Amino acid sequence: MIDNARERPARVPAQVLVLGGAMSVQFGSAFANKLFPLAGPAGVVFLRLAFGAVVLLAAVRPSWRGRTRSDWRAVIGFGVMLAGMNWSFYEALDRTPLGPAVTIEFIGPLVVAVLGSRRWLDTVWVALAGGGVAILGLGGSGSGQTALHPAGVALALLAGAFWAGYIMMSKQVGTRFAGLDGLASALVVGSVLLVVPGVLGGGSALLTPHVLLGGLAVAMLSSVIPYSLELTALRRLSAAAFGLLMSLEPAVAALAGVLVLHQALRLTTAVAIAMVIVASAGSTLFARRALPAHID
């Protein structure tokens, strides 16, 4: 059953897998936001990674025999990026609306796209997306629900740096481990790293049934489903192409913020997100037809 499940995503275009992952992770983030008053950002992200690790370990049963030191370095690095990215982003989300937080975080994959691009047209799309992020930063000094908290902005930038590392490390893990073995192993690493801050942040709330169930739901929506789809897509996409496709994340995040968290959108935020959407659409429409060979 698992082998058949692993084969099915390969029949789906890599771009569709990336976009499906974006929808899952952003609506998962909106739901996680509702758990922050109960268990805190650190507690929620710990549950997210821990449950994600348990689910994937049970599903794929990764083989750890015969692994080289380079394989383990890749997995540990991937786990560090997962833990850092998710914790810093959840802390940002506790202070900043979802759409703007993801738009600022996008600076990370934007840098990956710039470094990986070899065509002048790709630079145009990257510059357009970067302009959208800049407009958001310059126009985010309002008040009320849509205001941007300075600490939230800094944490979103930190999450973006980890996101860039995640893209690069997941590419390495995808080439070294079959299926989802590397992802399951990295989630174990990330969970261990967050045990102390998670317990300190969540306290006894981590043992209550509704928080545990909520953490499981967040794990499925924000870790198991999107990371599985993204890791599969990265075997057929370059890191640069992946980073450009992920530029749709701010739009999806803004939609999730409106529908789930009832967060209003400012005009400057809408303009910034529209610029990022155009950049993403342009990069997709004018991308090369040929994609890298699928790495088994």
Mean pLDDT of the chain: 81
pLDDT at 288: 52
- The first and second tokens of residue 196, run together, are 């102390």
- Assigned token pair, 88: 């810093």
In a domain, 143, yes or no: yes
Task: Kindly give the residue spans of alpha helices, DSSP state H, lying in the chain.
Answer: 2-7, 14-33, 36-60, 69-93, 98-105, 107-116, 120-138, 150-176, 181-193, 195-202, 209-219, 225-234, 239-245, 249-261, 267-285
The b/e string for 186-206 (b: 16+ C-beta within 10 A; e otherwise) is bbbbbbebbeebbeebbeebb
Q: Does residue 236 belong to any structural domain of this protein?
A: yes
Q: What is the pLDDT of residues 62-97, one digit of tens each?
A: 878 878 888 889 899 999 999 999 999 999 999 988
pLDDT in tens, 23-50: 998 999 999 999 999 999 999 999 999 9
d(CA 111, CA 16): 22
Average pLDDT over residues 191-213: 95
The pTM (predicted TM-score) of the whole model is: 0.80
* pLDDT higher than 50, residue 279: yes
**Separation CA 176–CA 199 (nearest Å):** 32
What pLDDT does 295 receive?
33
Per the CB < 8 A criterion, the answer to whether 85 and 158 are in contact is no
Domain limits for position 63: 15-285
Once rounded to an integer, what is the mean pLDDT over residues 103-121?
A: 73
**CB 247 within 8 Å of CB 214:** no
The whole-angstrom separation of Cα 22 and Cα 232 is 14
**Closest-CA residue to 255 (of 15, 10, 9, 24):** 24
**Can you give the pLDDT at residue 4?**
46
Q: How confident is the model at residue 296 (pLDDT cuts 50, 70, 90)?
A: very low
N-terminal to C-terminal alpha carbon distance within the chain: 18
Q: Give burial (CB, 10 Å; 0-12/13-18/19+) of 267.
A: exposed
pLDDT of residue 139: 57
Closest CA to 202 of 47, 31, 25, 30: 47
Residue 294 lies in a domain: no
Instruction: Give residue 102's pLDDT band: very low, low, confident or very high (50, 70, 90).
Output: confident
Reference 166, options 287, 21, 16; nearest CA is 21
Q: How far apart are CA 293 and CA 128, in angstroms?
A: 29
CA gap 230, 109 in Å, rounded: 13
- 202: in domain: yes
Bigger pLDDT: 164 vs 205: 205
Split into its structural domains, the chain has a count of 1
Please indicate, yes or no, if residue 248 is contained in any of the structural domains: yes
Residue 27 has a pLDDT of: 92
| Within-domain flag for 5 | no
Q: What dihedral angle (degrees, nearest 10) is formed by the CA atoms of 27, 30, 169, 187?
A: -100
Tally of residues, the chain: 296
pLDDT at 32: 94
**Model confidence over 165-174: pLDDT tens digits?**
888 888 788 7
Mean pLDDT on 275-286: 71
Tell whether 97 is covered by a domain: yes
pLDDT, tens only, 2-22: 444 444 545 778 888 888 898
Is 259 within the bounds of a domain? Answer: yes
Give the residue, 276 or 69, on which the prediction is more confident. 69
More confident residue, 159 or 168: 159
Q: For residues 82 and 76, what is the distance between their CA atoms, to the nearest angstrom?
A: 10
- Residue-level pLDDT at 290: 37
Q: What is the pLDDT of residues 216-263, one digit of tens each?
A: 999 999 988 887 787 788 778 776 667 667 767 788 888 888 888 888
